[in-house]
Amino acid sequence: MSNHAFLSASSSRRWLACPPSAKLCELFNDSSSTYAQEGTDCHALCAYLVEKELGINTRDPTENLTYYSMEMQDCAEEYRNYILERYEEVKKLCKDPKVYVEQRLDFSKWVKDGFGTGDCIIVADNLLQIIDYKHGVGILVEAEHNTQLMCYGLGALESFGSLYDINEIQMTIFQPRRSNISSFSMTKDELLSWAEDTLKPTAKLAYEGHGDYSAGDHCRFCKAKGVCRERANYNLELAKYDFKQPPTLDELEIASLLSQIDELTSWANDVKDYAIKKAMEGTHFEGFKLVEGKSNRKYVNEENVADVVSRAGFDPYEKKVLGITAMTKLLGKKKFEELLGSLVYKPQGKPTLVPESDKREEMNAMNDFKKEKIL
């Protein structure tokens, strides 16, 4: 059986908003990235640490992780500690709760061939907890009405609903690199109503390739995002904006543009990336040609360079203080704090405009940008 579901929980936000995108994406090859592999590595480490703490005999994957780092270790340990805290809390309410790690969850009752893997499921009387680890730092992920977690909740109900009297489903996103722990709860009846009224009929449309195309921020991870006509039409609306009258934009008009610029920029970059990929495969775009970009010179072999320069009587090495991550690895976290805690500070971040829904505290434009945060 394939490890990939046609209508996966992880992509449910997209195909629920744009049902025919599921079929469209099947026309494009899967592509991996270092970010995806890094996330996969950290998930393996998280699972190992949790299972080890629960007394499950499991193998340490560290030596086989391509992107292992002290930061990854710290994130995985934070996740493990959080799982254990939740487990201890629920044991006060239920004498025999169960913890399931990397649990396969089947929600095909509502989505044809639908299944996924839950990072951590804690099952107890009255309460079912779905905890999902996110390693990404670029996009803040919220738990509220998160369709991936809701699908996982349905799969967990199918697996464990007959063993426990579950009335509440609590869904949590654990995203340590964004200092984000987001939780959202639904009753069992609310989740099942959503499954019947929204998930099931929309999944049927998506499976059959029917429904209407719809563009929005759910396009971010769509494999067709660079060539989708609906997304192009959606973003090109910005180009129709009347800049001539009045001659200058007021605050309300600028605010309207700001809400679209990130999506427009993302779309433009996706189109360009797609065009470069096709050009490298031989496609010609009228008026454009493929050229070699700028690059910097590199040594063929650094060890040979160092040897030659040393024999010539020069020192080929530069010396600088280790970075914070490397220094922490050298000293250990406890020793690092003991020796260097007072010598570390956090520079002020570059000012940026975000939607008001963003959880970060608003800065005072007159005062906050004049000082740095000293840790």
Torsion angle of C-alpha atoms 271, 275, 277, 282, degrees rounded to 10? 160
| d(C-alpha 212, C-alpha 209), whole Å | 9
Low-confidence ranges of the chain (pLDDT < 70): 1-4, 238-248, 365-375
Predicted TM-score (pTM) of the model is 0.70
pLDDT tens track for 220-277: 889 888 888 888 888 777 656 544 455 667 788 778 778 777 777 888 888 888 888 8
Q: Where along the chain do its domains lie?
A: 12-208, 225-280
Minimal CA–CA distance to 71: which of 368, 329, 336?
A: 329
State the DSSP code for 363. P
Token pair for 22: 């599921």
pLDDT at 365: 62
State the DSSP code for 296. -
pLDDT at 4: 65
| Residues contacting 87, CB < 8 A, separation 6+ | 97, 99, 122
The SS3 of residue 111 is coil
- List strand residue ranges (DSSP E) for 178-234, in order: 180-187
pLDDT at 3: 57
pLDDT at 246: 57
In contact, 178 and 137? CB cutoff 8 Å: yes
3-state helix, strand, coil in the chain (%, to 5): 45, 10, 40
- Using DSSP bridges, classify how beta strands 166-175 and 126-133 pair: parallel, antiparallel or unpaired: parallel
Instruction: Identify the architecture of domain 12-208 in CATH.
Output: Alpha-Beta Complex (3.90)
